[in-house]
Chain A
Amino acid sequence: MIRRLMLAAAVAALPVVALAGDARRDAILADYAAKARAADKGFSAFSAQRGETLFRTKWTGGDARTSSCTACHTANPRQPGQNAKTGRPIEPVAVSVNPKRFTDPATVEKQFTRDCRSVLGRDCTPLEKGDYITFMAGQ
C-alpha cells in the first residue's frame, strides 16, 4: 500500500517538475518580461511561435554567412550545430535535449548580443529574446 502510494505520488510529481522547468531560466524570462512591458504597455506574454519565426527567418542586415539562426544552430534545434564561420561544433540548443540552456544570465546576454548582431545586424529586443527562449524551452 505504502509503495503504491509512493509510486502514485512520484508519478503525479513528474509532469509538474517537467513543466516548472529551471528556476534560473524562469528568472531570466521574468527579467525580459519586465523589460518588454517597460517598452510596450500592451505586452501580455511571450510567444513560442514568434520565437520560431525569429529562429527561422532569413534576415538581410547581418553577415552573409549567417543570414539566419539556423546557419549555426541548424533547422532542428534538437540536433547539434556547427559554427558557420569557424567550423566548431555547437551542442543542441533545445532545452529538452540540453537542459543547461538559458540558465546563466551573463552567457545568455552575451550570446544574444553576438548572435543577433551577426544574423540581424542589430541587437534583439527583450521581446524577441523572451520569445526565442520560450520557443527553445518547448523544443
Chain B
Amino acid sequence: MRPLTFTLLATLLLLTFPARAGNDWMPPVRDATVQKECGTCHMAFQPGFLPARSWTRMMGSLSDHFGEDASLPDDKTEIIRNYLTANAGDVVNWGRAARYMQWVAPGGTPQRITENPDFLRKHRFPESVWKNPKVVTKSNCVACHSGAERGLYE
C-alpha cells in the first residue's frame, strides 16, 4: 500500500511538473521596483508576454499610457525598462512566451497582451463576462486566474 501510494504520488508529480514548469508557466516579475510601480493600477504583467521592443516603446511613452499618465522619475523608468527588456518574450523565447511570440509580426511593437491571437483564442467569452463588475476589463487577469501574479494561468 505504502509503496503504491508513493509511486502514484511520484508519477503525479512527474506528470504535472513538466506541464507547469516546462510549458505553461510564465516566469513572474521578481523585481521590486517593477512590482511596485507597474503593479499599482493593474497587476504587474509578466514581461514574457511581449517582445523587448514593445517594452522599450511602452517605457518611452508612459505619460500617455492607455490614456493614463503613468510617468515615473527617470531612474525608476530606467530600472523597469532594463528588467522588462531583459526578460521579454523574445529573450525568454521558451514555453508560453515562445507561443505568444509566434504571433508577433517581425518588427512589430504590440502594446497589448490581450490582443495577441493566443490570448484571444483562449478567451472567447460573451460580452457579459467582461462586463461583470469583478472583471471590468480583459486585462484584469487576477479576477479569473488567482495565480496570475505567480505566472500560473490554467
Interface residues of A (CB under 8 A from B): 63, 82-88, 113-114, 117-118
Contacts and interface: CB of A to CB of B under 8 A. Distances in A.
A53 B68 CA distance: 25
Contacts of A87: 42, 134-137, 140, 143
Contacts, number: 34
Contact of B140 (A63, A86, A113, A114): A86
Interface residues of B, number: 15
7 contacts: A63-B67, A85-B136, A86-B139, A87-B140, A87-B143, A88-B41, A114-B69
Q: Interface SS of chain B: helix, strand, loop or mixed?
A: loop
Nearest to B39: A88
A87 B67 CA distance: 16
B43 interface: yes
A82 B140 CA distance: 11
7 tightest A-B CB contacts, nearest first? A87-B136, A87-B140, A86-B42, A88-B42, A86-B41, A87-B137, A87-B143
A83 B142 CA distance: 13
Which DSSP category, helix, strand, loop or mixed, fits chain A's interface? loop
Given A86-B137, A88-B43, 11 more contacts: A83-B41, A85-B68, A85-B137, A86-B42, A86-B136, A86-B139, A87-B42, A87-B137, A87-B140, A88-B41, A114-B69
A114 B142 contact: no
A113 B137 CA distance: 24
Interface string B115-154: 0000000000000000000111101101100000000000
